[in-house]
């Protein structure tokens, strides 16, 4: 399916729904516009609200290859765009005989077959594709400059080879946890969307989709408990990812309702800080709505 076949945001919403991702209206509209306008989608939101999962779901609904680039401090062009295969270049040079045409030899050293495609070049060369640039805030700001060309022109320029342009522009999803401010030059090329925590009904629907075998009452109990945890002023309020993990953990243990004993045993799936665990364990009864 081509990405521009979606007629309206509702069509995107239905397709994502069928792929196991339940977006709200805002996210569906943002994804629709991103595909229609060939603009990168810049997603911010609390950890665990489904930013990365959206990239994966978009790849499913557009039947495209998902190319994921995880950012980290110190990442540079040779890890994100492309690199030359130096050992093979040297072997090629050594294998050439003395009488070979020197100009042709030089040209052949920087041939496409000696080029190693890193995620961004992979996304440009494989179409259709979804390029997921995850946690861009972890990379340092010098790195953002490498992205500008691919985001604006869907192309990668290699000085020795020329410009490689995507046949079909990749759908680009950029996520950020806001540990630092991303440069406006990059943001301006993107559509911006803040992903909120889902409401209770949506959260129940998402968890039931992800953990289909869990008891309906259990999912309701967990979603209600998570909603209370989010209001409990914790260091790290659980995201939807934690709700799914927690339900999964309880389901594996055979629970059909959330009771104090099982809740205490599995709380580590939802809370990741010792301070939070201590605080919640003191007051488990109110967490369970008792």
Partner 1 sequence: MPPDVPDPVVTMTGFARALRANGVAADATRLATALEALRHVDPLDAGQVYWAGRVTLCAEPDDLPRYDAVFDAWFRGRQPEPPDRRPVQPPGQVVQLRPVSSAGTGRPTSAMEQELRTAASDTEVLRHRDVTELSQADRDEINALIALLTPRVAMRSTRRRRPGGREWIDVSRTVRAMLRDGGEPATLARLRRRVKARRLVLLIDVSGSMSPYADVLLRFAHAAVRVAPRTTEAFTVSTRLTRVTRQLRLRDPQEALAAAGNAIPDWSGGTRLGEGLQAFLDIWGRRGTARQAVVVIASDGWERGDAAQLGEQMARLARLAHRVIWVNPHRGKDGFAPVTVGMSAALPYLDELLAGHTLDALHTLADVIAHA
Task: Report the sign of the C-alpha dihedral through residues 238, 203, 224, 260, in that order.
Answer: negative
Q: Which is nearer to partner 1, 76 or 264 (CB)?
A: 76
Residues in contact with 90: Cβ distance below 8 Å, sequence separation at least 6, in sequence order = none
Among 11, 17, 20, 36, binds partner 1 (CB under 8 A): 36
Fill in the per-residue mask, 222 to 251: x = in contact with partner 1 (CB under 8 A), - = not in contact: -------------x----------------
Residues in contact with 193: Cβ distance below 8 Å, sequence separation at least 6, in sequence order = 26, 27, 30, 41, 42, 43, 44
Q: Which is nearer to partner 1, 34 or 223 (CB)?
A: 34
Cα–Cα distance between 71 and 47 in angstroms, integer?
15
Query: Considering CB under 8 A, how many residues would be counted as binding partner 1?
Result: 42
Binding of partner 1 by 200 (CB under 8 A): no
Q: How many CB atoms lie within 10 A of CB 275?
A: 11
CB-based contact 161:110 (threshold 8 Å): yes
Binding of partner 1 by 2 (CB under 8 A): no
* Placement of tokens 């603009």 in the chain: 39
- Tokens representing 224 are 């209600």
Site for partner 1 in 79-138 (CB under 8 A): 83-84, 86, 89-90, 93-94, 109, 137
Site for partner 1 in 159-198 (CB under 8 A): 177-181, 184, 187-188, 191-194
Residues lying near partner 1 in the complex (CB under 8 A) are found at: 8-9, 25-26, 29-30, 32-33, 36-37, 39, 44, 72-74, 76, 78, 83-84, 86, 89-90, 93-94, 109, 137, 140-142, 177-181, 184, 187-188, 191-194, 235
């Amino acid at each position: 399916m081509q990405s521009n076949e979606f007629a309206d945001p509702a069509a995107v919403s239905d397709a994502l729904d069928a792929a196991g991702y339940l977006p709200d209206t805002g996210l569906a509209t943002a994804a629709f516009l991103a595909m229609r306008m060939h603009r990168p989608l810049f997603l911010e939101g609390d950890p665990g609200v489904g930013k990365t999962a959206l990239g994966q779901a978009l790849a499913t609904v557009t039947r495209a290859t998902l190319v994921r680039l995880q950012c980290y401090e110190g990442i540079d062009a040779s890890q994100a765009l492309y690199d030359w295969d130096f050992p093979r270049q040297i072997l090629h040079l050594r294998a050439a005989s003395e009488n070979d045409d020197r100009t042709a030899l030089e040209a052949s050293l920087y041939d496409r077959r000696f080029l190693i495609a890193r995620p961004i070049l992979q996304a440009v060369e494989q179409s259709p594709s979804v390029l997921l640039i995850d946690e861009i805030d972890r990379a340092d700001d010098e790195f953002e400059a490498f992205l500008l060309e691919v985001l604006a022109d869907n192309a990668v320029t290699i000085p020795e080879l020329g410009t490689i342009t995507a046949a079909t522009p990749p759908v680009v999803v950029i996520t950020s946890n806001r540990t630092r401010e991303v440069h406006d030059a990059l943001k301006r090329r993107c559509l911006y969307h803040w992903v909120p925590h889902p409401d209770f009904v949506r959260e129940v629907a998402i968890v039931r989709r992800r953990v289909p075998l869990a008891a309906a009452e259990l999912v309701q109990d967990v979603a209600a408990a998570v909603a209370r945890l989010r209001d409990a002023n914790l260091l790290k309020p659980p995201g939807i990812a934690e709700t799914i993990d927690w339900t999964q953990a309880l389901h594996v243990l055979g629970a059909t309702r959330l009771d104090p004993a099982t809740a205490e045993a599995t709380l580590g799936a939802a809370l990741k800080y010792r301070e939070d665990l201590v605080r919640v364990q003191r007051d488990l009864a109110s967490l369970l709505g008792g």
